[in-house]
Structure 1
Amino acid sequence: MRHLIALATCLALALLGLAPVAAVEVITVPQDVNAVNLSDVVQLQQGSEGRVQLSTAPGEDGIIRRIEVLASQQGTNPNWALFALRNDSDQQIERLLVAPFFRLPGSGVFQPDLGNERITALTPSAGIRPVRLADSEADVFEITLDPGATVTLVAELATGELPELYLWEPNAYRDYVNSFTLFRGVVLGVASLAAVFLTIMFVVKGRGVFPATAAFAWAVLIYLLIDFGVLGRLLGLPAGAMQPIRAASEAGIATTLAGFLFIYLNLHRWHLRFVHLALGLAALFLALFAFAFFQPAIAATIARLVLVLLGVSGFFLILLLALRGYDRAVLLVPTWIIIIAWLFFSWLVISGQVSNDVAQPAVGGGLVLAVMLLGFTAVQHAFSEGQVSIGTLSEVERRALALTGSGDFVFDWNIERDRVSVSDELATRLGEKRGALRGSIKRWLDRVHPEDRDRFRTAFDTLVELRRGKVSADMRIAGHDGNYRAFRMRVKPVLGGDGQVNRIVGTLQDVTEDRAARERLLHDAVHDSLTGLPNRQLFLDRLDRALERGRTPNGVKPAVFLIDIDRFMELEERIGHSAADSVLLAISRRIARIMRPLDTVARITGDQFAVVLAAEQTAGRIAETAEQIRKSLKAPFNFGDRDLTLTASIGITIYDSEPATATEVLRDAELAMYYAKRLGGDRIEAYRASARSISAYNRTSEEDLERGMKNGELQVQFQPIMDIQSGKIAGAEALMRWNHPTRGVVAPEEFITLAERSGQIERLGRIAFEQAAYHTRDWVSSLPNLSEEFFVSVNLSPTQLATEALLNDIRTILGQNAGIASHLKLELTESQVMTNPEHSAFVLDALHKLGIGLALDDFGTGHSSLGYLHRFPFDTIKIPPDFVQISAVNGAGHTQGPIMRAIIALANDLDLAVIAEGVETQPELERLREHNCRLAQGFVFGAAMSASEFTKHLSAQLAR
């Protein structure tokens, strides 16, 4: 009969167009079970227009009833959860229906469930209406089931799902809650104490590891307050509002743990990149913390993944540093293993593989254990390093600590007892047993170097007599092996009650290495690093002393040799620089073997050696010594499987008691050496008076050139550079000329060579560039029709290109003459550029960036011109006169044309301008036109002229 009624009900619903839901599984409530998990039997159903229509579970009469439940708030359309309970007993049953707000087990790694209100309202199909009970951690309803009744319960859900639902016996639920209250109180108490203790340690000591550990402890404490529902009750926030705070707390745990690892391991000391990585991670963690308040689930996912990544990467980092012997990492290994175990257990919990009641409290307890272990590790390391000190230090303690930190040794001489006490570390440093240096002052001073004893006896006696002052001086003390170590002693007297000195105290600092380094520096400053011989500076000093002795009555008159190896540069190009150094070392040894103890041998330049001969006086013996040197150097040098034969040119000068400095005497020997070279080398020449007149003439010429530059006697003249296709002036080359007041016009070859030799070429080049820039500015500003392509080229000497001041000088001149950089061009030869290619590349690139043009002069005369065009920023090449001028000598006229045609074609392909130099005849000009060469200069267009004459030519051309 019951089944027929149920069938009839279903047919009626079908006729009305209402399809019944699937049969609700009925759960019989047991009498002797404290809790029943209803999570798997709950049916979820979507509402329709704020209501749900459903069929109840069959009652005891077998009738399925149709009910409709409306949402508690109008305008909402919540989801619904359906389940049915049956009371088979003959007594009324009271149970608690519990839906936890948050459960860590099964919450998930990705998009985790962070807790929320679960049930808004609970409606029964029959019987007494459930009563909501106040609870901070779950939705709890008290339900009553009549004897033999079957009740279908419809739960209006606050969210789209109901993760967990339990049916509890009321007393058992209260016992369950109370059982965790004590555990939570203990965990919170321990976490609070750890956080407060580590904070106090930070305040007391201020070490960076304590605030890092304290921050992690506070982050764990806040997480536990949230997890245990304490913070929500204190703030009065509903469960849904705790989601961003819970996600932020998990991000805080990851952030503070990463900060602890970085600070504790001092990663900033290992590499600068760790600092950059830490700053980047700090910015990301701050962003994650803020992001938790917008997307809590995503932020919690990132925080949990970061914790896993931090645990694994931190383990390998700690293991690596521990294997290297880093004591901090060694102490952290056991703690980090426990953290790895906690991370594994936490993954089992949140993935749902461990879901019992103690899983979530165990995760919180594991966090507190991690805090305690990290705090213990930090404190242990701090105590082991002596970093923790409670209270303030006295002045005596502070001085003792400062002395310990300095590494100096204590020295104390008790005068009344005549007993010296020193640090035991000093005995260890000297290789003695502890206490071996204690005793009377006489016994202790026996260890002092004999040369230092009298000085220190005097110093100590002075301190005792004057009863004030202090001593700071170096002394040498013998070690156990007999070797001496240098110490810097700083001592002062201490007065007793009677006003007398009763002890002398101070420190000893080991300066052995410093003293040895200073002596090496002093030696290297005046000795050649290759041969170990005195260098030019020490040689001149010894020669000056020898000259002073020679001026005394019956003083020894020294002779000076200057030895220069003939064609040594060619040898170096043939065998290489390293092999040439070996040859120079062998040469120095051969010369030194001939000398006597009173003589001095020095290396003054690369392949030049000088000798002060004081052991021989007669001219014959001096000449014989020089001949021995020449022959010894001419003897073959064995070099691998072959022999090398060298010759030397030797200049000799003998001091004649005339007033002269060491530099002048050495110069006389140098002049004699150059005279020997002019005569073919491999010979010995003595200094002659005529050479002194040549030297005097050179000094006069240098002074004359200096005067000429000051008085404006040197002026640039301009040789036109013509556009031979149009017949117009395209530019000019600035050429320096010297109009001497008495000698007339001085040839450029003479005064330029003189300037290079005397070191005045840099100033001469600056004058030429200044004048060229000034006149160029005048032409550009006063001749409005002047072509934009008009240029003035200025030659650079090799010395100018090598100087550091060239760029600054040109920048200054361009600043004073604005707008002319594009009208100026600098000319350089291939040999100038390749003297120092790297420096040349830097300077030329800087000049090119200033807007100045660059021309490669004498193109084709070097051995790698094509490489220069690719490497350096030249925009112009100049064909030398040898290729331009027509000549039939040795058939040259047949090869000049193809070479010049190839150069012009190459320049056109590389988009470079070409200037042909030295055009002197019309046939040469016509041939250039045939080869499509556009620019040329030479006497066929006129010689160099003054700036005023060149201005007239320009004005006349522009007027046409």
Structure 2
Amino acid sequence: MPLGEVSVSCGMYGELSRLQIMASYRYFVVLVVAVIWFALPANSQENVIGAGFKEARIELIDTLQVVDSNNAQIAIDVPADATGQKIRMNLRATGATSPHRWAIFTLSNPDLVNRNFVLQIPRQGFIGSGVIWPSPAAARILSVTASGGLPPVQLNTQNDQSYALSVPAGGTTSFALELSGVVLTKATLWQRQAFDAQAGQVAFFNGVVLGIAFLLGVAILSMFVVRPMAVFPAAGLFAWSIIGFMLLNAGVLSLVTEPEIERTFEPVIRAVIESLMVVGLSLSLITILQLAKNAPFANVMYWISTVAGLGLAGFGFVDPLVASGLARMLFGAVAGFGLLTALVLWGRGLNRAGTSLMVWFIVAAWTIVAAIGALDLIRNDFVAPAIASGQGLILITLSFTLVQLVFGQSIAGNHFLEDSGRRALALAGSEQSVWDWQVTQKLLYVGPELERALGLEPGLMGNVNLRKWLELIHPGDRRAYESAVEAAEKRGKGSFAQEFRLRRKDGTFRWHLLRARAIIDEDGFAARLIGTLTDVTAVKRSEDRLLADAVRDRVTGLPNRALFIDRLERALRRANARGIDGLYVLVVDLDRFKNVNDGLGHEVGDSLLNVVGGRLNRMVGPDDTLARLAGDQFGIIFNGETPDREIAQVAENIAKIVALPINVRPREIFLTACIGVAR
């Protein structure tokens, strides 16, 4: 019994082992089948999308099944149709690059009517292109093939690839998208009516934004005609480069050129436009903020970025992708530092910086939004409109800022002209000439009245050549004239006056007085200096006479008592310092001159004094001084540095020369003099 029991036990154990082995085998087969199933290409799995969805659109990117093959022509199995019959779909690649790749999806229509859809695939453009090494613009799909029914029809859309799809009533249709080398990041299936409505809205939005941009671009350039300033061409370049960027992003190039031409030239055009945006932004900062005088170091920096932008525009024809990437990084740097520069100048009280601050803030904000779009950090439908709207906002604020520059100075000028209107009427009848110096344009206007006053040829005045104007000014007065004008420009307010001589046609000079005042711009600097030129030659001569009368005797022209005392004090100090003991002072007093003056009249007396003064003047040397001290007294200072001078002999000679007869018709008059000598 024990042996039999053992036998039975062994038999049961063998049966159990066989059952376990068979179960393990079944599990292994199931596992292998599962692995093979999941390892099979996606086209072998049936993943059907119901065509009866009610939404306006659905996203397909997560439901697409990808098939790769090195063969240009393959056949794949797709989900069965309504009859349950398996469908084999033939695919033929149109691209030359291997391996070939297709994305497959299937639509099933349970309804009794045909369903129409639109497949929308965004082109590779600025969005998602990157910054450092941008991707070129390209199509993401090369062709679309349907397993049955109507073939897909490509629609003429601006910035994406759109195909009209149709699924028959109660039918199932598979679609194969032949992919290009560009990564497919988004695929949207639209209801046809919803797509048409959305396409109309996008076209309307792009049309409005581009229309406004074109009008603003033309307006900015037109301002140069109204007021020829460097800021308007600079801002115009920035505006039109922005417009070019907007046209590229709107897909206009794909509408006007063939796909092959677009693929070839779009990267070059984009690189040039983005480089010119750098140039336009840099020049706008330089001219609007007037960095040459307000921030010289920043001015040099932005000129360097301008030259770099021009270089990148040329390099764009050689390597457009590298040029575009460098231009994007340089634009970001200029936008950031531009905002910082404006804030610093605004803090210093520069009005232009405050007026244009909104422009630089919006440019910096747009740069951030554009970077988010280029790096594809946020994937939604609002990034592209935000980029276009931001550029439109830049143009609007830039235009308003430029309008303030044009009309702000005009208003300031009108206030002054209104105040001086009454003076203009009075000026027309006076012997004065208008003098008008426009600081920013370096233009000088001088009224034609000055031509007649100086005897010049007609046509020399008006808008005067600055070099010729300076040639008319006396060489000794030019520097003072230029310094006065420069000081008024820097001061920026108030009035100033300057006298200088102008040359007549005959070579003589006439004194003129310039009185002018400054018209300031919005930054507090002088934009214009305007005033009048008045001939003051007679006044200057009167002043010279008054000055001469203060130190000279009016009758004899000799130094008077005050000048004599001053020279005597200086001579004494010089003699003491040098140890000179030969300094003499003589006083000549005419005898009985009062009787002669009273008897013959003051005119005869003045003539006698004039003759005596002339005779005494011949007795003194160039370093000596002869002066009229009182009515009939003359004083002489003999310089002690003259050697071998016999003062007694000199006094005797003076007495003799005074005693010579003076012919006063019809008689001769004899004078004598008393001479006092001091050492």
> Which TM class, normalised by the smaller chain length?
0.5 to 0.7
Q: 1:541-620, aligned counterparts within 5 Å?
A: 597=569, 599-601=571-573, 610=578
- Alignment partner, residue 455 of structure 2: none
Confirm whether residue 346 of structure 1 aligns to residue 380 of structure 2.
no
- Alignment partner, residue 94 of structure 1: 116
Confirm whether residue 240 of structure 1 aligns to residue 212 of structure 2.
no
- Alignment partner, residue 159 of structure 1: 181
1:308, distance to aligned residue in structure 2 (A):
2.1
Q: Structure 1 residues 615, 228: CA separation in 2 closer, same or farther (over 3 Å shift)?
A: same
1:76, distance to aligned residue in structure 2 (A):
6.3
Q: What is the aligned counterpart of 2:131 among 105, 109, 112?
A: 109
| Cα distance in 1 for residues equivalent to 2:438 and 2:246 | 46
- Alignment partner, residue 402 of structure 1: 436
1:370, distance to aligned residue in structure 2 (A):
0.9
| Cα distance in 1 for residues equivalent to 2:533 and 2:395 | 50
| Cα distance in 1 for residues equivalent to 2:78 and 2:378 | 35
| Cα distance in 2 for residues equivalent to 1:399 and 1:83 | 88
- Alignment partner, residue 195 of structure 2: 173
| Cα distance in 2 for residues equivalent to 1:286 and 1:107 | 23
Q: TM-score, normalised by structure 1?
A: 0.41
User: Where does structure 2 lack aligned partners over 5 or more consecutive residues?
Assistant: 1-28, 418-423, 447-487, 489-507, 515-530, 548-557, 587-618, 625-638, 645-679
| Cα distance in 2 for residues equivalent to 1:266 and 1:289 | 25
**Amino acid paired to 1:325:** G
Q: What is the aligned counterpart of 1:319 among 343, 358, 362?
A: 343
Q: Structure 1 residues 199, 598: CA separation in 2 closer, same or farther (over 3 Å shift)?
A: closer
1:334, distance to aligned residue in structure 2 (A):
2.5
Identity %, equivalent residues: 23
- Alignment partner, residue 69 of structure 1: 91
Moved more, 252-261 or 37-46: 37-46
Confirm whether residue 192 of structure 1 aligns to residue 192 of structure 2.
no
Q: Is the 8 A contact 1:602 1:609 kept in 2?
A: yes
- Alignment partner, residue 259 of structure 1: 283
| Cα distance in 2 for residues equivalent to 1:261 and 1:508 | 50
Q: Is the 8 A contact 2:298 2:341 kept in 1?
A: no
Q: Structure 1 residues 306, 40: CA separation in 2 closer, same or farther (over 3 Å shift)?
A: farther
1:130, distance to aligned residue in structure 2 (A):
2.2
- Alignment partner, residue 389 of structure 2: 365
| Cα distance in 1 for residues equivalent to 2:94 and 2:434 | 78
| Cα distance in 1 for residues equivalent to 2:154 and 2:58 | 19
**Amino acid paired to 2:336:** V
Q: 1:863-874, aligned counterparts within 5 Å?
A: none
1:209, distance to aligned residue in structure 2 (A):
0.7
**Amino acid paired to 2:436:** A
- Alignment partner, residue 282 of structure 1: 306
Q: Is the 8 A contact 1:78 1:160 kept in 2?
A: no
| Cα distance in 1 for residues equivalent to 2:640 and 2:584 | 18
1:386, distance to aligned residue in structure 2 (A):
3.1
Q: What is the aligned counterpart of 1:268 among 289, 292, 301?
A: 292
Q: Deviations over 1:85-125 (max 9, x none)?
A: 33344443221112222465544434344532232221234
Q: Is the 8 A contact 1:601 1:611 kept in 2?
A: no
1:57, distance to aligned residue in structure 2 (A):
4.4
Q: Structure 1 residues 347, 660: CA separation in 2 closer, same or farther (over 3 Å shift)?
A: closer
- Alignment partner, residue 123 of structure 1: 145
Q: Is the 8 A contact 2:435 2:532 kept in 1?
A: no
Q: Deviations over 1:547-596 (max 9, x none)?
A: x99xxxxxx9xxxxxxxxxxxxxxxxxxxxxxxxxxxxxxxxxxx9xx98
| Cα distance in 2 for residues equivalent to 1:119 and 1:211 | 42
Q: What is the aligned counterpart of 1:27 among 42, 49, 55?
A: 49
1:281, distance to aligned residue in structure 2 (A):
2.3
Q: Structure 1 residues 133, 278: CA separation in 2 closer, same or farther (over 3 Å shift)?
A: closer
Q: What is the aligned counterpart of 1:472 among 501, 504, 511?
A: 511
User: Where does structure 1 lack aligned partners over 5 or more consecutive residues?
Assistant: 1-6, 409-428, 430-468, 476-487, 493-504, 510-514, 520-547, 550-555, 557-591, 619-656, 670-960
| Cα distance in 2 for residues equivalent to 1:146 and 1:371 | 49
- Alignment partner, residue 323 of structure 2: 299
1:245, distance to aligned residue in structure 2 (A):
2.0
Residue 94 of structure 2 aligns to a residue whose secondary structure is: coil
1:311, distance to aligned residue in structure 2 (A):
1.9
Q: Deviations over 1:109-159 (max 9, x none)?
A: 343445322322212344443233333433222222234544432211233
Q: Is the 8 A contact 2:50 2:107 kept in 1?
A: yes
1:668, distance to aligned residue in structure 2 (A):
8.8
1:176, distance to aligned residue in structure 2 (A):
0.9
Q: Structure 1 residues 106, 25: CA separation in 2 closer, same or farther (over 3 Å shift)?
A: farther
Q: Structure 1 residues 489, 74: CA separation in 2 closer, same or farther (over 3 Å shift)?
A: closer
Choose between structure 1 and 2 for higher RCO, CA contacts under 8 A separated by at least 6 residues: 2
1:315, distance to aligned residue in structure 2 (A):
1.1
**Amino acid paired to 1:152:** S
1:169, distance to aligned residue in structure 2 (A):
1.4
- Alignment partner, residue 235 of structure 2: 213
Q: 1:727-806, aligned counterparts within 5 Å?
A: none
Q: What is the aligned counterpart of 2:410 among 375, 386, 394?
A: 386
| Cα distance in 2 for residues equivalent to 1:364 and 1:602 | 87
| Cα distance in 2 for residues equivalent to 1:152 and 1:78 | 18
Q: Is the 8 A contact 1:81 1:157 kept in 2?
A: yes
| Cα distance in 2 for residues equivalent to 1:507 and 1:249 | 66
Q: Structure 1 residues 31, 43: CA separation in 2 closer, same or farther (over 3 Å shift)?
A: closer
Q: What is the aligned counterpart of 1:38 among 34, 57, 60?
A: 60
1:74, distance to aligned residue in structure 2 (A):
6.6
Residue 79 of structure 1 aligns to a residue whose secondary structure is: strand
Q: Is the 8 A contact 1:216 1:371 kept in 2?
A: no
| Cα distance in 2 for residues equivalent to 1:506 and 1:27 | 102
| Cα distance in 1 for residues equivalent to 2:165 and 2:105 | 13
Residue 98 of structure 1 aligns to a residue whose secondary structure is: strand
| Cα distance in 2 for residues equivalent to 1:175 and 1:125 | 28
| Cα distance in 1 for residues equivalent to 2:353 and 2:48 | 60
| Cα distance in 2 for residues equivalent to 1:203 and 1:58 | 71
Residue 597 of structure 1 aligns to a residue whose secondary structure is: helix
1:297, distance to aligned residue in structure 2 (A):
3.7
Residue 261 of structure 1 aligns to a residue whose secondary structure is: helix
Residue 569 of structure 2 aligns to a residue whose secondary structure is: coil
Q: Structure 1 residues 317, 130: CA separation in 2 closer, same or farther (over 3 Å shift)?
A: same
Q: Deviations over 1:350-383 (max 9, x none)?
A: 4445444343123212212211211221220232
1:399, distance to aligned residue in structure 2 (A):
6.8
Q: Is the 8 A contact 1:113 1:297 kept in 2?
A: yes
| Cα distance in 2 for residues equivalent to 1:403 and 1:94 | 73
Residue 84 of structure 1 aligns to a residue whose secondary structure is: strand
1:329, distance to aligned residue in structure 2 (A):
1.2
Q: Structure 1 residues 660, 383: CA separation in 2 closer, same or farther (over 3 Å shift)?
A: closer
1:53, distance to aligned residue in structure 2 (A):
5.5
Q: 1:484-883, aligned counterparts within 5 Å?
A: 491=534, 597=569, 599-601=571-573, 610=578
Q: Is the 8 A contact 1:45 1:80 kept in 2?
A: yes
| Cα distance in 1 for residues equivalent to 2:302 and 2:46 | 57
**Amino acid paired to 1:402:** D
Confirm whether residue 133 of structure 1 aligns to residue 129 of structure 2.
no
Q: Is the 8 A contact 1:53 1:66 kept in 2?
A: yes
| Cα distance in 2 for residues equivalent to 1:212 and 1:660 | 68
Corresponding pairs, count: 456
Residue 250 of structure 1 aligns to a residue whose secondary structure is: helix
1:164, distance to aligned residue in structure 2 (A):
2.3
**Amino acid paired to 2:61:** S
**Amino acid paired to 2:511:** S
